[in-house]
């Protein structure tokens, strides 16, 4: 009788254990097939963009970001042999400057080359003058340009192309960085995302807000 009772107890224990294992396994596979919804990620802090460089302007003068302190800056990276995005974006920036009217004195459009081997100060001077009299062209050594691009989080690379001048082009993004008069990052734009008038209106409102708060 005693052995029979122990046998029944063991069967009960094993039965409970089996149920527990099956329950756990079922819950595990249910969670795999139906994962819980996670909360949306929260992004805080400012963009890691630094308005910092040591370059040479199109007149041959050594400049840094501090050379343009006190004015809003529209910064664009490209190169003079660019067949499409650069002339289109620089013409767009010229339209923004024209639309700003008298407030254009508070803004400086800056074109930084990513092809310093070809874009000398003289080449940059001829190129930017074709777009707007206030436009500034900046060049430098390979290391100086790389440092400037890295601070603005701009990527670029040489792309071989037999049909292009000297057999290569430079791949790069088309972002326009708006920097505040104190050098801090304000916003980033793409030429195709808004009209020149809309961007000029946005910058104008920023200038007016700065004047009221200052």
| pLDDT digits 0-9 by tens, 87-139 | 999 999 999 999 999 999 999 999 999 999 999 999 999 999 999 999 999 99
Confidence of residue 214 (pLDDT cuts 50, 70, 90): low
| Both structure tokens of 108 | 């400086």
Secondary structure (3-state) at 108: strand
The whole model's pTM is what?
Answer: 0.78
Distance between CA 206 and CA 204 in Å, rounded? Answer: 5
How wide is the angle at C-alpha 173 spanned by C-alphas 171 and 179, nearest 5°?
140
Pick the CATH number of 54-213 from 1.10.569.10, 3.10.20.600, 3.40.50.300, 3.40.30.10: 3.40.30.10
pLDDT above 90 as % of the chain: 74
21 CA to centre of own chain: 52
């Amino acid at each position: 009788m005693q052995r029979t009772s122990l046998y029944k107890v063991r069967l009960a224990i094993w039965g409970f254990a089996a149920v527990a294992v099956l329950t756990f396994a079922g819950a595990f596979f249910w969670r795999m097939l139906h994962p819980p919804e996670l909360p949306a990620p929260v992004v805080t802090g400012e963009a890691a963009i630094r308005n910092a460089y040591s370059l040479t302007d199109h007149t041959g003068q050594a400049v840094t970001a501090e050379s343009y302190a006190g004015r809003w800056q529209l910064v664009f990276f490209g190169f003079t042999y660019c067949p499409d995005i650069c002339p289109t974006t620089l013409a767009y920036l010229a339209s923004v400057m024209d639309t700003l009217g008298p407030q254009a004195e508070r803004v400086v459009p800056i074109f930084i080359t990513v092809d310093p081997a070809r874009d000398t100060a003289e080449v940059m001077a001829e190129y930017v003058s074709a777009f707007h009299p206030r436009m500034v062209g900046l060049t430098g050594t390979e290391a100086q340009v790389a440092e400037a691009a890295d601070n603005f989080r701009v990527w670029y690379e040489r792309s071989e192309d037999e049909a292009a001048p000297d057999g290569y082009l430079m791949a790069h993004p088309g972002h326009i960085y708006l920097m505040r008069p104190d050098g801090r990052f304000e916003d980033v734009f793409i030429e195709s995302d808004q009209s020149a008038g809309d961007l000029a209106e946005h910058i104008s409102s920023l200038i007016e807000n700065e004047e009221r708060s200052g």
